[in-house]
Structure 1
Amino acid sequence: MALSASLTDTIRTQGMVTITASATLPSLRPPSCGQSAYCVPATLSQKLVFFTGIYLCALGIGGAKAVLIAFGPEQLDDDDGGGKNERVRERKASYFSWYYAVANVGMLTAGTMLVWFEDNVSWGFGYGLCASFVAVAVVVLAATAPMYRILPPAGSPLKSVIQVLVAFSHKAKLTLPDDPTELYEDDGVKNSLQHPVHERLEHTNQFRCLDKAAIVSDEDLEDGDRWRLCTVSQVEEVKILLRLIPIWLTSAVYFIANTQAQTTFVQQGTKTDGRIARGALSVPAASLSSFQMAFVAVFVTLYNRAVVPAARRCLGRAVAFTPLQLSGVRPRDGGRRGGRGRYLVMAASDASLTVGQLEFFYDQSPETMRSASTAFYFLAISLGNLLNSQLVTLVAKVTAAWGNAGWFPLDLDDGHLDYFFLLIVAITAVNFAVYVALAKNYTPKKLAAKNPKALSRRQELA
């Protein structure tokens, strides 16, 4: 994973260098508008260079975040009990908290220092400074790679999922046995099918029709085709994904509300007086979200140092809050609270949900899918932003019909952002109710103990 992180960071560096060149070199950007009301549009080649940099950054950032989040917990000692003892769980939960706190410190720096350079020096200098930071990170990661604990790849998660679906399609008309131990599983014994052995998962009755992929037939014993017979653990991995997807979707809807800090809140900021300290400093509208980043870092620190120890003492248990409980802290203010208060509310919710989701997806995902599952969180952010943009477009179009000014006119003072925030409140409330129902009925992943009866049966198949 260290190699993958270096590769994705290299791609991100290339993207930042491309964007820096696009903002700096006269041939790669349109001329300044100056005092003219007419601005020369960018040429096709200039657009291609700029968007190439944007997409390279997106590819590098997405890959690096997904890899590094799963890479960190792997450095913890998992040898005793597979990482399921309380101490290891505490350390992993703490890792996710501090990871997000540090990430917000980075975003705070970008929202203040880099924005100041872009506003007061040049966009090219700001982008170039950011590119240099990423380049330093690549060098440091590559130089320290030998220090890390490197686990060998555990197989392709996508291939295993497809195998289960193909095997199920072959046996869809078969009847499931009443005894689940008659289904095929690999207990570490050498068998003719030679399925890869990872963690064994306990059988569950949810989505039981998929168990047909693990029914042993005479044809399976003859040819040993992995695409016709899967283990119970492989089937359970697919079931886990089916359980995670609905919870993941509620996270995506949550980010419709969360993304207001970078969209409508910034629009509101353009209509406010950003001067502070009696006019000595001026806060750009693009830096307003930095309040939330700062509050997140503070909340994470207080949570780890004060809230968790106090909760453990009061509740009398090692785990203060489960990941699903943390993920349930969601804002229903919708941005109606004014000033820095709304950033405080959003920060508390953002910190709780993010730490809970990262820990939840990592802990509940199959062994072969941990990198992919932790990437669900960032995919939820992207989907939430996409949903928000589509919602704004739809609301603006509908409310501006028949000649009305609508909720989003050019001059926000003539609009109704308050109505839009009420709509966000309603969406968030419904989404929260759905999440609570899903969390209460969620079936957690469990590792299976060896069953002597099942082991004897499977040794006969060897």
Structure 2
Amino acid sequence: MVEEDVYTKDGTVDINKNPANKKKTGNWKACRFILGNECCERLAYYGMSTNLVNYLQKQLSQGNVTASNNVTNWSGTCYITPLIGAFLADSYLGRYWTIASFSILYVFGMTLLTLTSSVTGLKPRCDKHACHATMTQTAVTFTALYLIALGTGGIKPCVSSFGADQFDETDDVERKKKSSFFNWFYLSINIGALIASSVLVWIQMNVGWGWGFGIPAAAMAIAVVFFFTGSRLYRIQKPGGSPITRMFQVIVASFRKANVKVPADKSLLYETTDEECSIQGSRKLEPTDKFK
């Protein structure tokens, strides 16, 4: 392999911020850790969320309407927080550090939820007729749930694209492998969800909530271990700064240059003569006249 083909051409670096070596990083040797992380994380998420209405009804003595409304609000938060995670990943932290930091929050939330269902004092007192949760116990439970919602917000938008980063888009062979990765990625999601929606729900209803939440918490801890184990193999895209700033730059430039004549030489359209884009973490795009 010639020298220029040793390293990726899409701007990725390794964990030490050196140019990513094609032979030592990325591809399936890195993706197996990402797939393992995703399978365990989805098992943890669906394992604690699928039966959550029943938990709020039985353990916190909430009515069906109240419990359903609380779960809907929590679920909605889980789908809003990815906006935060995606912005931080693309602008400042990068996908690797966003996943890593939010995963730790996720584990804290899962652990706290497990404690609220198994440890005396945090666990509601129950008799033959109902459970009697105090305000403090309810508050701790919801603190755990919203820590989980924040944690999933840093993982949900980043993991699939982080897997795609392991394949060099400029390499024809690796570009073909990328589509195969997404097939395996969604398979890992469904495996985790299947186990959670069947086995874990049965454990929660027949064995106990401590085990029912403890197993998902352990699965999330395993997901974090999977992720960090593959660190030296990952290809990492550098964050490119706030996209909002660049959007306004484009709008301003489009008005200022509305009457500029397009040069015949397309290479003159680039903002820099260097091989790399001047925006860190971004690549040059081929000019096109299809939208004029």
CA change 1:16–1:116 in 2 (3 A) is same
Partner residue in 2 for 1:26? 120
Correspondence for 1:7 among 81, 85, 101: 101
1:17 and 1:205 mapped to 2: Cα distance?
53
CA change 1:186–1:24 in 2 (3 A) is same
Partner residue in 2 for 1:177? 259
Partner residue in 1 for 2:14? none
Correspondence for 2:157 among 61, 66, 69: 66
Question: C-alpha displacement at 1:120, in angstroms?
Answer: 1.4
1:69 and 1:57 mapped to 2: Cα distance?
19
Query: Cα deviation per residue 1:386-430 (whole Å; 9 max; x = unaligned)?
Result: xxxxxxxxxxxxxxxxxxxxxxxxxxxxxxxxxxxxxxxxxxxxx
Q: Counting helix residues as a fraction of each chain, which structure ranks higher?
A: 1
Question: TM-score when scaled to structure 2?
Answer: 0.56
1:198 aligns to 2:274 (yes or no): no
Query: Cα deviation per residue 1:274-312 (whole Å; 9 max; x = unaligned)?
Result: xxxxxxxxxxxxxxxxxxxxxxxxxxxxxxxxxxxxxxx
Where do 1:124-139 residues align within 5 Å?
124-139=210-225
Indicate the SS of the match to 2:215.
Answer: helix
1:65 and 1:163 mapped to 2: Cα distance?
29
Give, as a single letter, the amino acid of the residue that structure 1 aligns with 2:231: A
Correspondence for 2:191 among 105, 109, 112: 105
1:106 and 1:56 mapped to 2: Cα distance?
21
1:155 aligns to 2:241 (yes or no): yes
Indicate the SS of the match to 1:27.
Answer: coil
Question: C-alpha displacement at 1:205, in angstroms?
Answer: 6.6
Contact 2:167 2:175 (C-alpha < 8 Å) held by counterparts: no
Question: C-alpha displacement at 1:149, in angstroms?
Answer: 2.1
2:198 and 2:124 mapped to 1: Cα distance?
26
Give, as a single letter, the amino acid of the residue that structure 1 aligns with 2:144: G
Where do 1:300-379 residues align within 5 Å?
none
Where do 1:40-79 residues align within 5 Å?
40=132, 42-78=133-169
1:189 aligns to 2:273 (yes or no): yes
Question: C-alpha displacement at 1:69, in angstroms?
Answer: 0.7
1:150 and 1:75 mapped to 2: Cα distance?
8
Aligned pairs, how many?
Answer: 192
2:257 and 2:269 mapped to 1: Cα distance?
18
Query: Cα deviation per residue 1:297-331 (whole Å; 9 max; x = unaligned)?
Result: xxxxxxxxxxxxxxxxxxxxxxxxxxxxxxxxxxx
1:119 aligns to 2:201 (yes or no): no
Question: C-alpha displacement at 1:123, in angstroms?
Answer: 0.7
Give, as a single letter, the amino acid of the residue that structure 1 aligns with 2:119: L
Query: Cα deviation per residue 1:155-204 (whole Å; 9 max; x = unaligned)?
Result: 33233224334x26xx85x68227344999434337xxx76673235355
**Runs of at least 5 residues in structure 1 that lack an aligned partner in the other structure:** 209-462
Question: TM-score when scaled to structure 1?
Answer: 0.37
CA change 1:26–1:202 in 2 (3 A) is same
Question: C-alpha displacement at 1:122, in angstroms?
Answer: 0.8
1:3 and 1:19 mapped to 2: Cα distance?
24
Question: C-alpha displacement at 1:77, in angstroms?
Answer: 3.3
Question: C-alpha displacement at 1:104, in angstroms?
Answer: 0.6
Where do 1:80-91 residues align within 5 Å?
82-83=170-171, 85=172, 87-91=173-177
Contact 1:2 1:141 (C-alpha < 8 Å) held by counterparts: no
Q: Which has the higher contact order (CA 8 A, sep 6+)?
A: 2
Question: C-alpha displacement at 1:21, in angstroms?
Answer: 1.1
Query: Cα deviation per residue 1:71-105 (whole Å; 9 max; x = unaligned)?
Result: 11211233xxx25x4x4443211111110011110
Contact 1:186 1:195 (C-alpha < 8 Å) held by counterparts: no
Partner residue in 1 for 2:29? none
Give, as a single letter, the amino acid of the residue that structure 2 aligns with 1:179: K
Contact 1:15 1:56 (C-alpha < 8 Å) held by counterparts: yes
Q: Taking every aligned residue pair, what percent have the same amino acid on both sides?
A: 30
2:269 and 2:285 mapped to 1: Cα distance?
8
Q: Which has the larger radius of gyration?
A: 1
**Runs of at least 5 residues in structure 2 that lack an aligned partner in the other structure:** 1-94
2:204 and 2:196 mapped to 1: Cα distance?
10
Contact 2:115 2:122 (C-alpha < 8 Å) held by counterparts: yes
Contact 2:168 2:175 (C-alpha < 8 Å) held by counterparts: no
2:263 and 2:127 mapped to 1: Cα distance?
74
Indicate the SS of the match to 2:125.
Answer: coil
